[in-house]
Amino acid sequence: MKPNRTTTKPRMTEQRKIVLSAVRKIRRHPTVDEVYTHVRRRLPRISLATVYRNLELLAAQGLIRQVDFARPQQRYDHRLHDHYHIRCVQCGRVDDVPIDPFSALEYDAKCCGDYRVLGHRLEFYGVCPTCQKRKDNRPPRTQKASPRLVSARVKTVNNRREGAE
Amino acid sequence: MKPNRTTTKPRMTEQRKIVLSAVRKIRRHPTVDEVYTHVRRRLPRISLATVYRNLELLAAQGLIRQVDFARPQQRYDHRLHDHYHIRCVQCGRVDDVPIDPFSALEYDAKCCGDYRVLGHRLEFYGVCPTCQKRKDNRPPRTQKASPRLVSARVKTVNNRREGAE
DNA sequence: TTGCTATCAGTAATGATTATCAATATTTTT
DNA sequence: AAAAATATTGATAATCATTACTGATAGCAA
Ligand SMILES: [Mn+2]
Ligand SMILES: [Mn+2]
Ligand SMILES: [Zn+2]
Ligand SMILES: [Zn+2]
């Protein structure tokens, strides 16, 4: 097959370079906003969107890593005992992992800093059986939230229009 | 001191009971929306806000647990090797935990389901040294984001008012 | 009953992230 | 180099989960 013509390698732009160096300089696991603030010292006109874009791209390239998981929606568990979870990176499904929790780890962590350690969470990630079956690797994306409040009564205020329909 | 007069025990209301039983029935780590949808079959007029409130309260009481961590903002890491983190439950600060990663864990996880295991994350939580010093336990909350875009030029469109001020 | 608080439904506001889009910048082709 | 193709940017709007607010009820104690 011919080499995909619509795909080219990402360029290492000035903005991208500076965003990368910011993450490296700040060190302590910065949030997007912290990166943004830092970068603006050198590029006062950079857009926040550009920071988001470049962070995502740099992470995709493996030049930086995302610390957090489990983004858009919070999940709840009816099981109260300590146990671990595995999350499907494709669809977001979460299942239990029945291996014994080790409290020794918390002890180990003590030696690292002056934190008072309260506990730990261990989460595996992978591809769930359902998503493995699906041949194509189109992102099924985390299921959308249920449509909001299709209540019987409909609001009738302020429904005048400005433009056309 | 006199017993705090403004504080009373939470009541186990009908809504709360049903939210709890929903989390227990759904089993597979439901999102708030899934709980909401489920509960509405029995309480069609319940508010989504009530579901949020009760889930939070039930979790605070230890009747259910939150699965996820690291909520409002994503964080980035300049260190590419596998390592673990510890997060302050008070201020959200994140630090590295310099203990060796257990690659055996992923092997252990394999035996649980049909997931294809890709990796794991281990996160400790506790109270950082800074937050330990602070005597009061007022929630310092995760630091607010930097004020957005106080650009030189100001938008002048559509600043007409409707009511009064 | 009378006050007091908890809780509710409904809805607005918040805030992080994404999407969109016209304008530039860089690379590739001619 | 000029033209065409593609990538990237800044600005801003849209999304969407969550939180905050509000006025109305409900349960409980004096
Ligand atoms: Mn679980
Ligand atoms: Mn780290
Ligand atoms: Zn899946
Ligand atoms: Zn702290």
Q: Supply the CATH number for residue A129's domain.
A: 3.30.1490.190
Considering the domain architecture, whether residues A101 and A148 belong to the same structural domain is answered as yes
With contact defined as beta carbons under 8 Å apart, do A46 and B57 qualify?
Answer: no
pLDDT, residue A68, reads 85
Give the rounded distance of the alpha carbon of B88 from its chain centre. 13
What is the DSSP-derived secondary structure letter of residue B94? E
Residue of B nearest to A102 (CA): B105
Considering the domain architecture, whether residues A89 and A127 belong to the same structural domain is answered as yes
Q: Which residues have CB under 8 Å from B117's CB, separation 6+?
A: A86, A124, A125, A126, B106, B109, B110
Considering the domain architecture, whether residues A41 and A97 belong to the same structural domain is answered as no
Q: Is residue A74 part of a domain?
A: no
Per DSSP, the three-state class of A25 is: helix
Among B30, B61, B92, the domain-final residue is B61
pLDDT of B91-109, one tens digit each?
A: 889 999 988 887 766 666 6
Total structural domains within chain A: 2
- Cα separation, A49 vs A19, whole angstroms: 12
The CATH number of residue B38's host domain is 1.10.10.10
With contact defined as beta carbons under 8 Å apart, do B53 and A44 qualify?
Answer: no
Q: How confident is the model at residue A133 (pLDDT cuts 50, 70, 90)?
A: confident
pLDDT, residue B157, reads 25
Considering the domain architecture, whether residues B90 and B144 belong to the same structural domain is answered as yes
Residues A32-71, buried b or exposed e (16+ Cβ, 10 A)?
Answer: bbbbbbbbbeeeeebebebbeebbeebbeeebbbebbbbe
- Cα separation, B1 vs B39, whole angstroms: 42
Beta strands in A76-115 (DSSP E): 76-77, 84-88, 94-97
Q: Is residue B92 part of a domain?
A: yes
pLDDT, residue A90, reads 86
What is the DSSP-derived secondary structure letter of residue A163? S
Distance measured from the CA of protein residue A16 to the C1' of nucleotide D6, in angstroms:
18
pLDDT, residue A11, reads 87
pLDDT of A16-41, one tens digit each?
A: 999 999 999 998 899 999 999 999 99
Distance measured from the CA of protein residue B68 to the C1' of nucleotide C9, in angstroms:
28
Task: Check pLDDT > 60 for residue B17.
Answer: yes
Considering the domain architecture, whether residues B96 and B151 belong to the same structural domain is answered as yes
Q: Is residue B5 part of a domain?
A: no
Q: Is residue A135 part of a domain?
A: yes
pLDDT, residue B68, reads 85
Q: Is residue B74 part of a domain?
A: no
Average pLDDT for B63-84 = 90
Structure tokens that stand for A90 in this block: 């494709």
- Cα separation, B6 vs B12, whole angstroms: 18
Average pLDDT for A119-138 = 82
Residue nearest to nucleotide D10 (CA to C1'): A47
- Cα separation, A87 vs A62, whole angstroms: 21
Give the end-to-end CA distance of chain B in Å, rounded to a whole number: 45
Distance A84 CA to ligand 1 centre (A): 7
Considering the domain architecture, whether residues A94 and A154 belong to the same structural domain is answered as yes
Task: Check pLDDT > 50 for residue B15.
Answer: yes
Considering the domain architecture, whether residues B56 and B119 belong to the same structural domain is answered as no
Residues of the domain holding A48: 14-61
Task: Check pLDDT > 70 for residue B149.
Answer: no
Considering the domain architecture, whether residues A55 and A88 belong to the same structural domain is answered as no
Q: How far is CA A108 from CA A49, A59, A120, B70, B99, in A?
A: 40, 29, 11, 22, 7
Beta strands in chain B (DSSP E): 65-66, 76-77, 84-88, 94-97, 116-127
Considering the domain architecture, whether residues B93 and B56 belong to the same structural domain is answered as no
Q: Do A68 and B77 touch (CB under 8 A)?
A: no
Radius of gyration of chain B (CA): 22
Q: Is residue A97 part of a domain?
A: yes
For chain B, what is the mean pLDDT? Answer: 77
Least confident among A91-105, B20-34, B128-142: B128-142
Q: Is residue B125 part of a domain?
A: yes
Considering the domain architecture, whether residues A150 and A92 belong to the same structural domain is answered as yes
pLDDT, residue B150, reads 30
Considering the domain architecture, whether residues A56 and A105 belong to the same structural domain is answered as no
Question: Most confidently modeled of B15-24, B86-95, B110-119?
Answer: B15-24
Average pLDDT for B27-44 = 95
Contacts 24+ apart (CB under 8 A), A98-105: A98/B112, A99/B105, A99/B108, A99/B109, A99/B112, A105/B99, A105/B122, A105/B124
Average pLDDT for B38-67 = 95
Q: How confident is the model at residue A141 (pLDDT cuts 50, 70, 90)?
A: very low
With contact defined as beta carbons under 8 Å apart, do A87 and A70 qualify?
Answer: yes
Give the end-to-end CA distance of chain A in Å, rounded to a whole number: 46
Nearest CA to CA, how far is A7 from chain B (Å)? 26
A52: CB within 7 A of chain D nucleic strand = no
Considering the domain architecture, whether residues A90 and A130 belong to the same structural domain is answered as yes
Q: Is residue B93 part of a domain?
A: yes
Q: How far is CA B123 from CA A66, A121, A123, B164, in A?
A: 13, 5, 8, 52
